[in-house]
Amino acid sequence: MSSFLVFAALIGCTAATAKTASVGGAPSPRPGSPRDEGIPPTPEQTVRAIYSEALEHGEAFDRLRTLVAQFPGRLSGSRKLDGAIGWAEATLNTLGLDRVYTQEVRVPHWERGAKETVVLLDAGNVVPLAATALGGSGATTGSGLVAEVVEVQSLNDVVTLGHARIAGKIVFFNRPMDPKLIRPTEAYRDAGDQRNRGPAQAARYGAAGALTRSLTRAHDDVPHTGVTSFAAGQAAIPAAALSILASDRLSAALTAAAKSGGSVRVAMKIDAHMLPDAPSHNVIGEIRGSTFPDEVILVGGHLDSWDIAPGAHDDGAGVVQSIEVLRIFRALGLKPRHTLRCVLFTNEENGSRGSAAYSTAAKEKHERHVFAVETDNGGFQPHGFNLGSTQGDAHERAAAKWRPLFEPY
Ligand SMILES: [Zn+2]
């Protein structure tokens, strides 16, 4: 967390000190801060001050504790998300920023309903499987869905099996995250098509339901939810993620049944439903740039979370880190040359309406963004910074310029 703060703040700070060293103007800087010295600090001194401020006086963890305690399960359209949006605006208003405002967005409103159940019916045995409905799942009807299970490893397997062997069945996507992909996010993305688009693919071939192996490497009985998407006009079938242990259990039952020429059935009950789009908001706070007020450096995270989780890592950590960047600038009396903006997006988990609305508004206002970073990889021990760019070698030049400033840390 601290590395993120140092880096994100440095970007604004480098801008503040590179030529004009225009620190000053913020209310009551902390004694001993760069501004308090009365002379322009060097970039190295400014980074050191940010580092110390974050570690000695950081408020991010306290804010995270409040956010997840008061507003867990902040899924789009929920009252918890509305509460978190109000909290975020009030929090930014305590920092003495130049501007705090919200941006209205209409967001999808999916509700899980009653707790889902998935049960393995295997040779007379009834075995509950740890499962959670995927966001966007349809509901089962009547007393639930009971159907034979077909295990596949990919979306292409569904095509190969074809309508005759898929129709009326529950398709079970069970390709694990590739252990050879060392970076967890890469392995997550690589296996993610099964959850994101598998149920829709199965539905195209007449499947009655879908199960997916949770996108995690944790060998436990905790299922992980996430979004699944259906095409416009396509009916959403019931779809749930199984824990890793439940996935292995089901797969073993299918293998054993195949040897004896039998089959395995699963019973699913899902109560999910999609409601009309709901009003929501992005929350934005900023410190106006002293030299380039119309050029923006953005730090951000997303306020919404899944309904069954407190949303601390995903993405409460990103939210409080982004708020902390502005707090540190104020605490140290640093005045950036470019506008430094914190954007707390709505609706990242089951859509991206918040970021889309922000982007549309920025284009309409002809705002120029010189740097933007969203933190959404959890609040773990930081290992470094991932600088990607679609515009030439800007990221490489930035890394070359700033890397020496980070080496002491
Ligand atoms: Zn996230």
> How many Å lie between the centroid of ligand 1 and the Cα of residue 399?
25
Mean pLDDT for the chain?
90
| Predicted confidence (pLDDT) at residue 1 exceeds the cutoff of 80 | no
pLDDT tens digits for range 276-295:
999 999 999 999 999 999 99
> How many Å lie between the centroid of ligand 1 and the Cα of residue 276?
23
> How many Å lie between the centroid of ligand 1 and the Cα of residue 374?
10
> How many Å lie between the centroid of ligand 1 and the Cα of residue 118?
26
> How many Å lie between the centroid of ligand 1 and the Cα of residue 376?
5
41/254: higher pLDDT:
254
Per-residue pLDDT, 5: 38
Per the DSSP assignment, residues forming a β-bridge with 379 are none
376-381 average pLDDT score: 85
> How many Å lie between the centroid of ligand 1 and the Cα of residue 317?
10
| Predicted confidence (pLDDT) at residue 9 exceeds the cutoff of 50 | no
Nearest to 191 by CA among 230, 233, 219, 152: 152
CATH for 113-271 is 3.50.30.30
The pLDDT confidence band at residue 75, using thresholds 50, 70 and 90, is very high
31-38 average pLDDT score: 60
For residue 83, give the DSSP letter: H
245-249 average pLDDT score: 98
pLDDT tens digits for range 138-166:
999 999 999 999 999 999 999 999 999 99
Which of 348, 364, 374, 407 is labelled catalytic? 348
Per-residue pLDDT, 37: 54
In sequence order, the 6+-apart residues with CB closer than 8 A to the CB of 402 are 7, 10, 11, 14
Query: Domain map of the chain by residue range?
Result: 2-109+276-406, 113-271
Per-residue pLDDT, 32: 63
| Percent of the chain's residues with pLDDT above 70 | 89
> Token pair of 130, please?
């740890």
Per-residue pLDDT, 308: 96
The pLDDT confidence band at residue 28, using thresholds 50, 70 and 90, is low
104 catalytic, yes or no?
A: no
Q: What global pTM score does this model have?
A: 0.88
pLDDT tens digits for range 331-344:
999 999 999 999 99
Looking at residue 294, its amino acid is D
CA separation for the pair 49, 66 (Å, rounded): 26
> How many Å lie between the centroid of ligand 1 and the Cα of residue 356?
15
Per-residue pLDDT, 302: 98
In sequence order, the 6+-apart residues with CB closer than 8 A to the CB of 100 are 89, 92, 93, 283, 284, 285, 286
> How many Å lie between the centroid of ligand 1 and the Cα of residue 258?
39
Per-residue pLDDT, 25: 41
> How many Å lie between the centroid of ligand 1 and the Cα of residue 72?
14
Per-residue pLDDT, 92: 98
Nearest to 88 by CA among 282, 357, 280: 282
| Predicted confidence (pLDDT) at residue 13 exceeds the cutoff of 60 | no
What is the torsional sign of CA 313, 319, 320, 326? positive
3-class DSSP assignment, residue 348? coil
In sequence order, the 6+-apart residues with CB closer than 8 A to the CB of 124 are none
pLDDT tens digits for range 173-217:
999 999 999 988 899 999 999 999 999 999 999 999 999 999 999
The pLDDT confidence band at residue 116, using thresholds 50, 70 and 90, is very high
The pLDDT confidence band at residue 7, using thresholds 50, 70 and 90, is very low
The architecture CATH gives domain 2-109+276-406: 3-Layer(aba) Sandwich (3.40)
How wide is the angle at C-alpha 261 spanned by C-alphas 258 and 267, nearest 5°?
A: 65
The pLDDT confidence band at residue 322, using thresholds 50, 70 and 90, is very high
The pLDDT confidence band at residue 407, using thresholds 50, 70 and 90, is confident
